[in-house]
A = this chain, B = another copy of it.
């Protein structure tokens, strides 16, 4: 039994409130247990300078936490005048992951800006951000298709992320909360497509290491959780969009 009563390979309760905000082209408020993230997708009709003229789109992400998303107040990065290394790592990861399931040529010379703002944190904010950002992005791009601004549905597969880890007592667990994450010996984030292919794998032993066999256990745990997350995404997106993704996946 884990600190919050879950079984080792049990996810926390997931909830996604789509179209949570009125202004963005796509938005979702995702909750993974007590972790809550507002994910929005904004469409801009041009790409960054280094990509102009290639006929392809771009997806980029920004991540932030409200100062009191955490147990003690964090200083705002705008007050510090610079973005931390942790924030940069996370936003690069989110953007890279999302680009793996989008047909950037079908998107045309557009940028999708993803914003993930953590309003409450209890571990797993980066994986919740990816899972939610996929939904927000899909809603925004589906809007472009419905407005006939795109001729081809550009999402080619589902994308979700979760964490797995090895606790101090050696137990392999799925979807670590903050209490678990801060004492775990090994922490691994796994980003996967709906077809079960890896997009990102980041395993870290902080003052610890892990063996080849432990790695296999972690990968299996992650896969189990991810299959459940894909189901939640399908519910949130609705049948019509699910059909479009399936069709797109088969044609790729």
Interface residues, chain A, CB within 8 Å of chain B?
21-24, 27, 34, 38, 40, 42, 44, 62, 64, 66-71, 73, 76-89, 91-92, 96, 99-100, 104, 113, 115, 117, 119-121, 188, 193, 195-212, 215, 219
**Is A96 within 8 A of B206, CB to CB?**
yes
A contact face: mostly helix, strand, loop, or mixed:
mixed
Whether B88 and A62, one on each chain, are in contact in the complex, defined by CB atoms closer than 8 angstroms, is no
Q: Name the CB-closest residue of B to A39.
A: B68
Contacts A85-B91, A99-B206, A115-B67 given; indicate if A73 touches B42 (C-beta within 8 A): yes
Assess the A207–B100 pair: CB atoms within 8 A. yes
In the complex, the answer to whether A85 meets B92 with C-beta atoms within 8 Å is yes
Least Cβ–Cβ distance between A140 and chain B, in angstroms: 11
Chain B residues closer than 8 Å to A69, beta-carbon distance: 21, 23
Q: Closest B-chain residue to A29, C-beta based?
A: B119
Q: Do the beta carbons of A197 and B209 come within 8 Å of each other? A: yes
The answer to whether A79 and B83 touch (CB under 8 A), given A100-B208, A205-B100, A207-B99, is yes
Report how far A80 CA is from B198 CA in the complex, Å: 34
In the bound complex, how far is the Cα of B64 from the Cα of A117, in angstroms? 12
- Cα distance A19–B64 when bound, in Å? 22
CB of A60, distance to nearest CB on chain B (Å): 11
